[in-house]
Amino acid sequence: MGWLVDKSGRFPQRLYLRPAEIDRDCERLVTAFLQERHGEVRFPLSTDDLTVLVERYSSSLDQYADLSDEGDDVEGMTCFLPDQLPQVLISVQLTEQANRQNRLRTTLAHELGHAFYHRAVFDHVFAAPPHMFEAARAEPRTVCKRDSMMGTTEFDWLEWQAGYFSGAILMPAQRVRRSVGDLLRDQGIHGAAVIGTVPAAEAERHVMASFQVSAEAARVRLRKLSLLADSAGPPTLFG
């Protein structure tokens, strides 16, 4: 973790996080939380537990927010305020539709990532002299669209970090590597499964069932952990 110049000019500095750091932080956070709340660590992380986690890192959580004015594809928002925890808003369209529970979970986890990491970013903005970073001052919030929920380009570093966090908190790296690694080794695969093959499909289904996530979320996470690949290559299971 560190601070770099923000080339977008939106912030005085940008927060730099390596994927391994986010994985580590999420493992520690969810393990300690579940141990405290249930006396054991078990997955999938329930939607209720996820909601409680968001509430711990926010001043308020509104899961029935009307975000239509922000655009049809906006599903979550985190608003940052000086000297207090951020406010998290989730679109009512997610909360009230039972068939979108996986999307709701991903969105809650995404907004948790913003609340967990990015309060410090906006604290720098609030502390900056008034003549600096006026655009950032005017918009102390993150607006999360459907297509960027699980990660976008690293240039949009706020959304990339929250997207990676979302996958890491719902599907902790060590647990995914261990369980999927065992599954693949049973089929004679000691690296990444090739997308489009039977082992890859089985790995996706295993993660979907074990962590209560969508096929897309499972696939994205497995790719980020080098457990799925577009083509065969050298072993990367623990790389």
Domain ranges of the chain: 2-170, 173-229
- Asked if 122 contacts 88 with a C-beta cutoff of 8 angstroms, the reply is no
- Work out the pLDDT band at 152, boundaries 50, 70, 90: low
* 135, pLDDT greater than 90: no
Q: What is the band of 150 on the pLDDT scale with cuts at 50, 70, 90?
A: low
| pLDDT higher than threshold 90 for residue 138 | no
> CA of 39: how far to CAs of 11, 32, 35, 48, in Å?
41, 10, 4, 16
Residue 118 has pLDDT above 60, yes or no: yes
pLDDT recorded at residue 155: 65
DSSP string, 8-36: TSSSSSEEE--HHHHHHHHHHHHHHHHHH
pLDDT at 132 over 60: no
- Of the pLDDT bands very low, low, confident and very high (cuts 50, 70, 90), residue 234 is low
**32: number of Cβ within 10 Å:** 11
Contact 109, 220 (CB under 8 A): no
pLDDT exceeds 50 at position 136: no
Higher pLDDT, 98 or 206: 206
DSSP state of 139: -
Average the pLDDT over each of 58-72, 77-91, 111-125, 141-155 and give the range with the smallest value: 141-155
Q: Residues 205-227: what's their mean pLDDT?
A: 97
**Residue range 66-76: mean pLDDT, rounded:** 90
Q: What is the pLDDT of residue 143?
A: 81
Q: How confident is the model at residue 142 (pLDDT cuts 50, 70, 90)?
A: confident
163-214 pLDDT, tens digit per residue, is 999 999 999 999 999 999 999 999 999 999 999 999 999 999 999 999 999 9
Q: Is the pTM of this model over 0.75?
A: yes
E strand or H helix at 70: none
- Higher-pLDDT residue of 128 and 96 is 96
Scan for tokens 């928002």, then name that residue. Answer: 77
Mean pLDDT of 30-40: 98
Sign of CA dihedral 29, 30, 32, 33: positive
